[in-house]
Chains A and B, each alone.
Chain A
């Protein structure tokens, strides 16, 4: 964002890195996202929650174009997603994604999983890519597992590898789609700890999760979705203590 716009947005506020306006998305006849508007500023941590099927995954998957949207604008770091190769690649280079099911590549070692994208999407020499991968594995505290294959690791370790893999592209934005939902309770914490650290380092994060403790601790804003719409969004202390809509209250009473 340039000077005047920033000033208009309120002076010292950081730049907007994701701008979603009037987003609509259909699966066949099913209207999955309805008139979504959402702005994320640099360094902001957004937690998205809502009942199953409300469109949370669809929304964040639109941000890196894993889903194609039919209507509306998505602008990431100044690049408007239009579905053409150029804009999609530009956006994917800026946005890392972590999936519920990890989606590690089972035929490659942990190190290869991480070094793959730098080598082949960024044309980095192998040695450099592996060195980079090691630094990211250290960051998620599993450098000693580098030579193992993903299926030899526990779920929590696999998810941390997935985070390291996404970090290897040096993204400025991270998307998390229920990163802890497939994990046993004992492993949830080790993944959340890594995410909290990332948040503290100033990473811009969009995170679909039902871990309300995490939301309270790190989120700048909680977004509540239902039936393809954003019902309300607020800072966590307001969201949890004083939600405006009945729907939100009902949802919170179920999960808290």
Chain B
């Protein structure tokens, strides 16, 4: 080979890298580049701007500048501005009902406190140094509902309910103990506790025993607390408005994800019975409109129940929504599972990971990540679908909005409350959607090339 080359090889000198050419910056340059780059672009910009101006202007005229802000009845509004401006006093008067339904006014603080508990529960998820975020999130899904159930409903606690409510209290304390320990001491709560007890150097087995005893003691304390905790009962018949919408869709959403995962795994299972049952469930609930399912559960479930057991109407609606949502979620998740290459399963098996371990550690994290947009889309759809419960006589946000225009004082006032309802739905759905986009970006960081 050597004889074909020159005596001394040339030495390759790589050129030094230089920075990319600076793009013209500043708002004017940006506008010129993006909005007015050529004639068609400029025309579209002007047209779009015009449409935006007209629409936003009309809405603002109606909702703000031409609106009536104080009046005693719809008549007064009509006399003042006719139909050209919104009549907000009616909505303002009904707003508490739109939010809480018929929940007793003097007890509404319990609902607020319940949701505040949820916010506090998930607040540690936003603390930078907290590492147990998965556990905290799972505890919020599994344990918070028990705590909330007593805030919202109150009344006499049966033994079973008490056991669960205590678990809820336990979870809340654990979450904050963990969050504080990890945020400020930078170590898990277990170590902080052991350090406080001076048992840092004890044998592993002893340490574990101490932690287990501590957890048990905390639970006993929580149980004792439930004995002292007595709230007046507020039957679910009085629940309504945004509160009810959040309860139904919240439970539906949290139920649908794990149930959908199990159904999707079941449908792909090698065991024929499991796969057949899962497929049947999914196809059954997917091929029937939600409204029909709600009707069926509402009228037929009592028929199947033994005489005398009264299944609460809200519960029936929730079960119907949960089944429906789980069936849809199952198909979304199955889509994600199909996107995972076979090599991933094989690598996991070859490393000796069993079915559940590889599902939990390898397959699901990837499948869920791929499907985040679809999953959140499903959540949003479910959130809006819960408006259908109004037709079986539950007073959700939608039916409360309709009730405004049926009030004799505000007879015919429909557009304004619906406008407000639309804004409320928009805020919630937009928040979910933004969160999902944020989540996708965060998960994508560093994991993909480029």
Interface residues of A (CB under 8 A from B): 64, 66, 85, 89, 92-93, 95-97, 99, 101, 103-107, 116-117, 120-122, 148-149, 151-152, 165-166, 169
Contact = CB atoms under 8 A, between A and B. Distances in A.
- Residue with the greatest number of chain A CB neighbours at <10 A, chosen from B341, B348, B350, B353: B350
**Residue of A64, A120, A169 with most partner-chain B CB within 10 A:** A120
Given A107-B366, A165-B351, 8 more contacts: A64-B350, A66-B350, A103-B343, A104-B347, A105-B347, A120-B357, A121-B351, A166-B351
B352 A107 contact: no
Given A149-B447, A152-B446, A105 B362 contact: yes
Contacts of B448: 151
Contacts of A66: 346, 349-350
B449 A152 contact: yes
Contacts of B446: 148-149, 152
B351 A99 contact: no
A118 to B, nearest CB: 9
B366 A92 contact: no
* Chain B contact residues, majority secondary structure: helix
A97 B447 contact: no
B352 A103 contact: no
B365 interface: yes
Interface residues of B, number: 22
Interface in B436-450: 446-449
B237 interface: no
A107 B365 CA distance: 8
B344 interface: yes
B369 interface: yes
Nearest to A100: B343
B361 interface: yes
A151 B449 contact: yes
Interface in B363-390: 365-366, 369
Contacts of A101: 341, 343
Interface string B336-347: 000001011011
Contact of A117 (B341, B353, B366): B353
B361 A116 contact: yes
B347 to A, nearest CB: 4
Pick the 10 closest A-B CB pairs, nearest first. A103-B347, A121-B352, A103-B343, A117-B351, A97-B350, A92-B352, A149-B447, A107-B365, A120-B357, A151-B449
A122 B354 CA distance: 12
B352 A117 contact: yes
B350 A120 contact: no
A148 B362 CA distance: 17
A89 B361 contact: no
A92 B362 contact: no
Interface centre among B347, B349, B353, B361 (most CB of A within 10 A): B347
B343 A99 contact: yes
A169 B351 contact: yes
Contacts of A95: 350
Contact of B369 (A89, A97, A107): A107
Nearest to A90: B352
Contact of A151 (B344, B362, B369, B447): B447
A149 B349 CA distance: 21
Contact of A93 (B348, B352, B362, B447): B352
Contacts of B347: 97, 99, 103-105
Interface centre among A93, A101, A166, A169 (most CB of B within 10 A): A101
Contacts of B449: 151-152
Contacts of A93: 352
Contacts of A122: 352
Interface string B262-293: 00000000000000000000000000000000
13 contacts: A89-B352, A95-B350, A97-B350, A99-B343, A99-B347, A103-B346, A103-B347, A105-B348, A105-B366, A107-B369, A121-B351, A148-B446, A151-B447
